[in-house]
């Protein structure tokens, strides 16, 4: 399948989550998101109000994380985080499920934790982060089914902070383990155009990455080269 630069940009949640980032670092990343016209940024909760203000009028949405990065905060705390994030202007929420509960076989507790966040979010998009590097295939399937049962909009591979990110086998498994109304997000290690396209071809509809400029810059360069040679339509690749 071929994708234009705009097609790919429309799938990107530009990640601005590293704990050491200064306000100047955050601003530089927000400006990259605006310049490349990505779908959204995913910022640290404390950065939401600033990101909303700086991105006003750009068309870039502001999302944030809940229970990040380990998923071990209480359900009540996650719900409180949701309320604060929405009050501050976030429009999408990427929550980490309780990984230890999932691996312990506490399916009812995991489902209830996700459902509480979904209900607190109302009409806002909720993506459930699994941290697939820690899970077996059976656990990934179970996480998919619990997330879908709880009403989540997306299942997502990784935080990017666990030493392992998205893989094609995991994305393929996740896509096969949820119904068509649940979308899949690949995050962690999405740093090149080839990787981004591979995940989109595998069924992802959203990509979490801090390498937006690299990915979209590659896409633009390929399209420009094709246009210069007249080899193909320059709108997609």
pLDDT digits (tens, 9 = 90+) for 113-153: 999 999 999 999 999 999 999 999 999 999 999 999 999 99
61: helix, strand or coil: strand
Rounded to two decimals, the pTM is: 0.94
94 is catalytic: yes
Residue 44's region, left for phi above 0, alpha for psi from -120 to 50, else beta, is: beta
Measure the CA–CA gap between 237 and 216, rounded to whole angstroms. Answer: 12
The pair of structure tokens assigned to 173 is: 């498994």
| Cβ atoms of 220 and 6 closer than 8 Å | no
Give the residue among 19, 13, 91, 80 at the shortest CA–CA distance from 48. 91
| Cβ atoms of 165 and 171 closer than 8 Å | no
Residue 105's region, left for phi above 0, alpha for psi from -120 to 50, else beta, is: left
State the DSSP code for 37.
T
pLDDT of the residue at 226: 82
Residues 6+ apart with CB under 8 A from 166: 132, 157, 158, 186, 187, 188, 189, 190, 199
Percent of the chain having pLDDT more than 70?
97
Strand partners, 16: 43
Give the residue among 143, 21, 14, 138 at the shortest CA–CA distance from 71. 143
pLDDT of the residue at 164: 85
Measure the CA–CA gap between 218 and 74, rounded to whole angstroms. Answer: 42
| Cβ atoms of 99 and 128 closer than 8 Å | no
Measure the CA–CA gap between 143 and 229, rounded to whole angstroms. Answer: 48
Where residue 233 falls among pLDDT bands split at 50, 70, 90?
A: low
Give the residue among 66, 83, 155 at the shortest CA–CA distance from 121. 83
pLDDT digits (tens, 9 = 90+) for 171-230: 999 999 999 999 999 999 999 999 999 999 999 999 999 999 999 999 999 999 888 877
The predicted model gives 10-36 an average pLDDT of 98
pLDDT at 67 over 90: yes
pLDDT digits (tens, 9 = 90+) for 88-99: 999 999 999 999
Domains, the chain: 5-228 (3.20.20.70)
pLDDT of the residue at 232: 52
Question: Which residue out of 13, 47, 94, 153 is catalytically annotated?
Answer: 94
Question: Which residue out of 13, 113, 153, 185 is catalytically annotated?
Answer: 185
pLDDT of the residue at 234: 47
For helices 107-121 and 137-149, what crossing angle results, to 10°?
Answer: 40
Rg of the chain's alpha carbons, rounded to an integer? 18
């Amino acid at each position: 399948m071929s994708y234009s630069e705009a097609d790919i940009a429309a799938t990107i949640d530009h990640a601005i989550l590293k704990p050491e980032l200064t306000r100047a670092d955050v601003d530089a990343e927000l400006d990259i998101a605006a310049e490349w016209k990505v779908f959204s940024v995913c910022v640290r909760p404390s950065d939401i109000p600033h990101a909303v203000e700086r991105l006003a009028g750009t068309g870039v949405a502001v999302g944030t994380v809940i229970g990040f990065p380990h998923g071990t905060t209480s359900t009540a705390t996650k719900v409180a985080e949701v309320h604060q994030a929405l009050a501050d202007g976030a429009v999408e929420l990427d929550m980490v499920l309780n990984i230890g509960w999932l691996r312990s076989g506490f399916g009812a507790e995991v489902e209830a934790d996700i459902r509480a966040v979904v209900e607190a979010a109302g009409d806002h998009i909720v993506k459930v982060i699994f941290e697939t590097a820690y899970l077996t295939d059976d656990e990934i399937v179970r996480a998919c089914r619990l997330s879908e049962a709880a009403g989540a909009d997306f299942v997502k591979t990784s935080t990017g902070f666990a030493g392992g990110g998205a893989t094609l086998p995991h994305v393929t498994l996740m896509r096969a383990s949820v119904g068509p109304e649940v979308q899949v997000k690949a995050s962690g290690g999405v740093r090149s155009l080839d990787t981004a396209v591979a995940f989109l071809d595998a069924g992802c509809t959203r990509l979490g990455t801090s390498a937006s400029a690299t990915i979209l810059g590659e896409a633009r360069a390929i399209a420009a080269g094709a246009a210069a040679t007249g080899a193909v339509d320059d709108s997609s690749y």
